Amino acid sequence: MSNVFAGRQKGLIYLTMTPGFIVFILFGVVPSVATLVISFTNYTSIPGVPVNFVGFANYVHLFVNNVQGLRNSLEETLVFAFGVTILQNLLGLWLANALTKKFPGVKLFRTLVFMPAVLGVTVIGLMWSLILTPSGGPVATILSLFGTSSAFFGSSTWAMPLVIFVQIWANLGFTTVVYIAGINTVPSELPEAAKIDGASGWTTFWKVTFPMIAPSVTVNVILAAAGSLRTYDLIYVLTDGTNGTNTLGMYMFNTAFQGSGNLGLGAGIGVLQFLLTVVVVLVLQSYLRRREEAMS
């Protein structure tokens, strides 16, 4: 009887997992394999051009004929990812530490911090474009009173910092919630004992609380790094990849869908972006796991 029940339970588990598995295959595995295959062809969006297998020609073009363009895009991608990952986690830690304290309105502040996380990326991009637009935007109106220019996204100096800021603003709520959950698992006796011994609030946090939320740090750092390395839509809405924001995602889009529409070359850039993300995630995971073990 128990074997029959166990068999039915196992079948139910497989049944509930099947829809998610099918979705993963259709929208994860199939597009990835298709992108890899296309990267070895001369596939373009020009009608009438036959599709032929060209081997590694697209990759040779990227690393030999267009190495400067690839290098610039890679540098801008790494600057964007590094800035987002570091600042988003530092701000998330600070907010989480503050929002785990008891003070009037703490629940309201938690809601406000998390609210951007429920908005779509395109909505966030359009909203900040309207806020920062030099033609009648609220920021431009205020700055004009002081005779200051407000063409932020048209400036190679300001475009990347502002894109990093908007990316952080969009995802900071989720990062903060993960850290709050981690802090809430720390036994309250430990910080209290440290304070009794004379430790300051920040000393208590960094010496007692922070080592115990190492798993939360691992999750947030990896998610922030992987997400920023793959970001495309937000940058497309804000700057269209101009003025020093031509990350690999934008480079791939412009190559595949703008101009002659070289889909094969664009797919090659997409494969490189995927490999870069995998390598960075694996390195971070290895380092952060060792750090967790050292702190435990």
Q: What is the 3-state secondary structure (H, E, C) of the chain?
A: CHHHHHHHHHHHHHHHHHHHHHHHHHHHHHHHHHHHHHCCECCECCCCCCCCECCCHHHHHHHHHCHHHHHHHHHHHHHHHHHHHHHHHHHHHHHHHHHCCCCCCHHHHHHHHHHHHHCCHHHHHHHHHHHHCCCCCHHHHHHHCCCCCCCCCCCCCCHHHHHHHHHHHHHHHHHHHHHHHHHHCCCCHHHHHHHHCCCCHHHHHHHHHHHHCHHHHHHHHHHHHHHHHCCCHHHHHHCCCCCCCCCHHHHHHHHHHCCCCEHHHHHHHHHHHHHHHHHHHHHHHHHHHHHHHHHC
Q: Which amino acid is at 27?
A: F
Closest CA to 154 of 80, 239, 246: 239
Structural domains in the chain plus CATH codes: 60-295 (1.10.3720.10)
Has this prediction a pTM greater than 0.75? yes
pLDDT tens for the chain, residues 1 to 296: 455 555 566 777 777 888 888 988 988 889 889 999 999 999 888 887 888 999 999 999 999 988 898 999 999 999 999 999 999 999 999 999 999 888 888 889 888 999 998 888 889 989 988 888 877 778 777 777 776 666 666 677 888 999 999 999 999 999 999 999 999 998 888 888 887 877 777 788 888 888 889 999 999 999 999 999 999 889 999 888 888 899 999 999 999 988 778 999 999 999 999 999 999 999 999 999 888 787 76
Closest CA to 248 of 62, 38, 122, 86: 62
CB 43 within 8 A of CB 263: yes
Q: How far apart are the first and last CA of the chain?
A: 44
